[in-house]
């Protein structure tokens, strides 16, 4: 169940009148403060003003116990230095009895805007006459809180009557015929199934042959459309092969990080792969064990590459 929070439509303000003749100031003030706050209602909420209005008559006949009329002093300050003023309660009861009750009740209410709105519902008069007869106040007796009927009864909302829609009876539909059951497969049909599968594979083989022929035709067209290669330079030396020619004409070995090594002819910009290299041996001196490497043909190729050569490694 959710916690109830009072709503403005649930708050009903009532009027009560209290006769203060012969009553003690403190007991009267505590009862009046409870009515102003609404603590006698089951819908009381400390953060809302759900209380009722109170009219106090015969305020001049209020009493104080223990001789407090001569002992108790009410102080007020003007705000200026030395502006404090004290007045005994016997003087106040003779001159301003309504102010005495309002001061006592105000001290029992919240000290905020909520308390300031509650104190406005208190109406104190020194005599028996009050100007609130039109509100028809009900007499209130201390110690007997009024019976509160509770939350106002909510009237149920009128329900909308659903209009009955009459529909014509639909004729009975004829039963649909069930499809005939498929004949069971026999052993002969099961034996024929592999032959059908092999027959289905034949178009796939034909399709593969067609794609291969199309690829060959496309390669031929690409060769025809390729631009002609430039004429060979007569001054360019013939390509060097391992095992032929003097060692001075051997190409320079360029080390790479992959499985192959690139060779460069001296004085030319051509570079090609000479052999596959299982490991890196760049930057070796001519006399080191890894300074030379045998090719596939069996000839020895010196590694003349030095760290000063500006050759980027091939990955």
CB 260 within 8 A of CB 283: no
Residue 270 has what pLDDT? Answer: 47
Domain at 11-139, CATH homologous superfamily: Ribosomal protein L13 (3.90.1180.10)
Mean pLDDT of the chain: 74
State how far Cα 189 lies from the chain centre.
64
Tokens standing for residue 42: 């089951």
Residue 77 has what pLDDT? Answer: 96
One-character DSSP codes across 93-145: HHH-HHHHHHHHHHTTS-SSHHHHHHGGGEEE-SSS--S-GGG--EE--TT-P
Domain ranges of the chain: 11-139, 247-302
**Tens-digit pLDDT profile for residues 26-43:** 999 999 999 999 999 988
The more confident residue out of 11 and 296 is 11
Residue 2 has what pLDDT? Answer: 82
Please state, for a pLDDT cut of 70, what percent of the chain lies above it.
Answer: 50
The mean pLDDT of 285-296, rounded to a whole number, is: 52
CA distances from 38 to 5, 24, 62 (A): 14, 22, 24
């Amino acid at each position: 169940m959710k916690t109830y929070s009072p709503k403005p439509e649930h708050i009903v303000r009532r009027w009560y009148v209290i006769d203060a003749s012969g009553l003690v100031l403190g007991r009267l003030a505590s009862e009046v403060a409870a009515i102003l706050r609404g603590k006698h209602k089951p819908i009381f909420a400390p953060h809302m003003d759900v209380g009722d209005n109170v009219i106090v008559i015969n305020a001049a006949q209020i009493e104080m116990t223990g001789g407090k009329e001569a002992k108790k002093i009410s102080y007020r300050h003007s705000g200026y230095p030395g502006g404090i003023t004290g007045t005994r309660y016997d003087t106040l009861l003779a001159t301003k009895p309504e102010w005495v009750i309002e001061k006592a009740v105000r001290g029992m209410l919240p000290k905020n805007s909520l308390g300031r709105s509650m104190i406005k519902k208190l109406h104190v008069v020194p005599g028996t006459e009050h100007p609130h007869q039109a509100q028809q106040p009900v007499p209130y007796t201390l110690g007997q809180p009024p019976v509160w009927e509770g939350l106002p009864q909510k009237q149920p909302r009128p329900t909308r009557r659903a209009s009955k829609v009459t529909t014509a009876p639909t004729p009975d539909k004829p039963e649909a015929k069930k499809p005939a059951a498929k004949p069971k497969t026999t052993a002969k049909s099961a034996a024929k199934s592999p032959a059908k599968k092999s027959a289905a594979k034949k178009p796939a083989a034909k399709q593969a042959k067609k794609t291969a022929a199309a690829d060959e035709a496309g390669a031929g067209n690409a060769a025809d459309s390729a631009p002609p290669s430039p004429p060979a330079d007569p001054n360019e030396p013939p390509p060097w092969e391992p095992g032929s020619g003097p060692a001075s004409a051997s190409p320079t070995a360029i080390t790479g990080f992959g499985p192959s090594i690139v060779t460069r002819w001296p004085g030319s910009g051509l570079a090609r792969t000479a052999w596959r290299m299982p490991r890196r041996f760049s930057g070796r001196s001519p006399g080191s064990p890894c300074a030379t490497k045998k090719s596939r043909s069996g000839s020895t190729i010196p590694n003349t590459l030095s760290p000063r050569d500006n050759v980027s490694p091939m990955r």
